Amino acid sequence: MSEEIILRVRNVRKAFGGLQAIHGVSFDLAKGEILGVIGPNGSGKTTLVNIVTGFVKPDSGEVFFKDKKISGLQAHKIADLGVTRTFQIMRPYHSLSAFKNLIVPLNSPRVRRTRGGRLGDRDAVAIDILEEIGFERDAYVPYKMASSLPLGYLKRLELARCIALRPEVIICDEIFSGLSMAEIATMIPVVEKLQMEGITIMMIEHRLRELFRLANRVIVMNFGEKLAEGTPEEVMGDHKVKEAYLGTEAA
Amino acid sequence: MRTESLYALSSWREMAYLLMPRLVLILGLLLLPLVLSMYWQRVLCSAGIYALLALGFDFLAQYVGLVSLGGAFFIGAGGYISGALNAYLGWPPVLTIPIATITGALMSTLVLLPCLRLRGIYFAIVSFMFPLLAVYIIVALNVFRGTEGISALATFPNIWVDQYLILGAVIVSLFSMRRLVNEDIGLILRGIRDNDQAVRASGIDITSYRTKAVFIASLMGCFGGAYLSHLYGWLGISLFSMDFSILPIAAAVLGGMGTLVGPVLGAFILTPMSEALRGFGQLRVVLYCLILIGFIVYKPEGLMNYLQRKYHQFEHWEEV
């Protein structure tokens, strides 16, 4: 893993009315790493994703992607640069079949530019991506309407839509939540493969055991602040983290 | 197998099964003028205008997610531009109609541009206000001869041109739209309808796509308006009449939302029906409402979805 910093978040703050969702969070994302972000519900993890990807404007602070300031840009411009995300509440295009869902990112200006104009057979590219991520081609799952897909496939579809964009950074907002152990076991190699392909990944997750298998580094959020940062082992040994998760009365 | 719509065509019977509905529709529309009386031929022309509006409404509502109540604005913009070019500059309809279609659509798109960020009911309310606004401006400033309007515009040479021009436009628009919604741009628009945030996360500027969609829908409406002003050789504030905003919606409900062909059929059913009910005087509105309520309650899917389902049950297909 190189030490090149691809994404730099500096002192971002965001308040929704009287609620201070994020109080001055800073962190770096090194190229090629998997960074885990954990924290109790309401600790500002999703708001942080929304700020980095431009869906929410920070009140102050800056976000840099490869030394270019991206805070303040519109969400589609940031995605166009190569920082994309999945959504915690899945957002499939339910009136389209699964593989047609990928035609949307495959038609984006970024893909048209990075892969030399129009792709050949985009339907085939879409189906290949889906198969790679675990849609059984033989069972015709890629041809089913997104509205009829079960949860496990919808989570995969979210990730597939990111992959189709050929991004440099993928931010996964709880892609494991609600999945069975068996389903997660098939998702982990997919994420590992993305890392091997050189994609930098930031994972927001509640499933700590699975996350710690994947993550190189972990950030712990609590009440909109960064509580701790380090390798999974360091973070789990931190007494502040235990307090945040279990409460101060813990024996 | 790539798509669900790919079939192995092995016989003429199967070809006929796929082509029949299209042929019946096209030939039906083209032969209609030959069997109608003069009066009903006129009705057919206005039904065509409503069909274009209903098609545009269905496209925006079901494929882009913008519920537009601004049909009257499209008609008014197209009608006033082509009428004014004819009255003041003396240009013939051959020139004024295409110019009015394009400039009218540009104008409508420009006016609706600030509202494209709005969704659902908010877009509907704002788009509903524009025709009213236009009428007040025309009356208050007394431009284009205010409430009187301008008469004695150029008309089409004969009633056959009247009818086939609008029927041709309806058929061409219908099949182009059916094609468009399955092309790349159509898929992106449907993506925006289903989930605009996810489309933004794919690096696509949703406002520019919505703008294009509104332009396409207003092209059809403005053509209808330009055609209308030359059909009657007259332009006036009734081009902004609420009928043009409301009847297409009723037609879309009757015909089946989201099918594109349904709203067109709906317009060709509703317009003659409201003419036929003219004899009932004010009661006509009551009957008209009863029919609509009946449809919304008992067949909310609309005629076309129902017919399509029955047709597919009639002969089942083996997918490859």
Does residue B5 lie within any of the structural domains?
no
CB contact under 8 A, B191 and A75: no
Identify the pLDDT of residue A251.
44
pTM: 0.87
Residue B316 above 60 pLDDT? no
- Rounded to the nearest integer, the mean pLDDT of chain A is 88
CB contact under 8 A, B203 and A105: yes
Average pLDDT value for residue range B214-222 = 96
The domain total for chain A is 1
Average pLDDT value for residue range A199-209 = 91
Distance CA B125, CA B129 (A): 7
Least confident of B112-126, B131-145, B146-160, B280-294: B280-294
pLDDT in tens, A167-193: 999 999 999 988 888 889 989 999 999
Candidate from B3, B190, B202 with C-beta closest to A161: B202
Residue A120: band (very low, low, confident or very high) from pLDDT cuts 50, 70, 90: low
- Residues of A within 8 A of B3 (CB-CB) are 97, 123, 143
Domain range spanning residue A49? 5-246
Residue B87 above 70 pLDDT? yes
Residue A250 above 50 pLDDT? no
DSSP, residue by residue, A108-142: SHHHHHHTTSS-S-HHHHHHHHHHHTT--TTTTGG
Distance CA B276, CA B298 (A): 23
Residue of B231, B217, B225 whose CA lies nearest to B163:
B231
Average pLDDT value for residue range B105-127 = 89
Identify the residue among A107, A118, A128, A148 best suited for mutation to test binding to B, counting B beta carbons within 10 A and taking the highest: A107
CB contact under 8 A, A84 and B3: no
Residue B274: band (very low, low, confident or very high) from pLDDT cuts 50, 70, 90: confident
- Residues of A within 8 A of B193 (CB-CB) are 95
Does residue A34 lie within any of the structural domains?
yes
Domain range spanning residue B164? 12-314
Mapping DSSP onto H, E and C, the string for A39-102 reads CCCCCCHHHHHHHHCCCCCCCEEEEEECCEECCCCCHHHHHHHCEEECCCCCCCCCCCEHHHHH
pLDDT in tens, B280-295: 777 777 777 787 788 8
The domain total for chain B is 1
- Return the higher-pLDDT residue of B117 and B228: B228
Q: In chain A, which residue's Cα lies nearest the Cα of B209?
A: A108
Does residue B285 lie within any of the structural domains?
yes
Identify the residue among A76, A89, A144, A163 best suited for mutation to test binding to B, counting B beta carbons within 10 A and taking the highest: A76
Identify the pLDDT of residue B209.
94
- Residues of B within 8 A of A109 (CB-CB) are 203-204
Identify the pLDDT of residue B309.
83
Residue B16: band (very low, low, confident or very high) from pLDDT cuts 50, 70, 90: confident
Identify the pLDDT of residue B289.
79
Does residue B43 lie within any of the structural domains?
yes
Identify the pLDDT of residue B1.
36
Candidate from A91, A100, A103 with C-beta closest to B195: A91
Average pLDDT value for residue range B15-35 = 86
CB contact under 8 A, A104 and B195: no
Identify the pLDDT of residue A238.
85
CB contact under 8 A, A96 and B195: no
CATH of the domain at B200: 1.10.3470
- Rounded to the nearest integer, the mean pLDDT of chain B is 88
pLDDT in tens, A218-238: 999 988 889 889 998 888 888
Q: In chain A, which residue's Cα lies nearest the Cα of B194?
A: A93
Identify the residue among A104, A123, A130, A140 best suited for mutation to test binding to B, counting B beta carbons within 10 A and taking the highest: A104
Residue A3: band (very low, low, confident or very high) from pLDDT cuts 50, 70, 90: confident
- Chain B: give the shortest CA distance to residue A194, in Å: 18
Phi-psi bin for A116: left (phi > 0), alpha (psi -120 to 50), beta?
left
Q: In chain B, which residue's Cα lies nearest the Cα of A82?
A: B203
Q: Decide if A150 contacts A95 (C-beta within 8 A).
A: no
Does residue B203 lie within any of the structural domains?
yes
CATH of the domain at A34: 3.40.50.300
- Return the higher-pLDDT residue of A241 and A12: A12
Does residue A251 lie within any of the structural domains?
no
- Please return the burial class of A109, using the count of CB atoms within 10 Å of its CB with bins 0-12, 13-18 and 19+: middle
Q: How many CB atoms lie within 10 A of CB B306?
A: 13
Does residue A229 lie within any of the structural domains?
yes
Q: Decide if B66 contacts B214 (C-beta within 8 A).
A: yes
Q: How, if at all, do strands A5-16 and A19-30 pair?
A: antiparallel
CB contact under 8 A, A123 and B194: no
Residue A138 above 90 pLDDT? no
CB contact under 8 A, B194 and A140: no
> Chain A to chain B, count of Cβ pairs less than 8 Å apart?
91
CB contact under 8 A, B187 and A100: yes
Does residue B29 lie within any of the structural domains?
yes
- Residues of A within 8 A of B184 (CB-CB) are 103, 107
CB contact under 8 A, B202 and A96: no
- Residues of B within 8 A of A56 (CB-CB) are none
pLDDT in tens, A16-61: 988 889 998 999 999 999 999 998 888 889 999 999 999 999 999 9
Residue B7 above 70 pLDDT? no
Q: Decide if A99 contacts A185 (C-beta within 8 A).
A: no
Residue window 88-107, chain A: list those with CB within 8 Å of chain B.
Answer: 91-97, 100-101, 103-105, 107
CB contact under 8 A, A161 and B198: yes
CB contact under 8 A, B188 and A107: yes
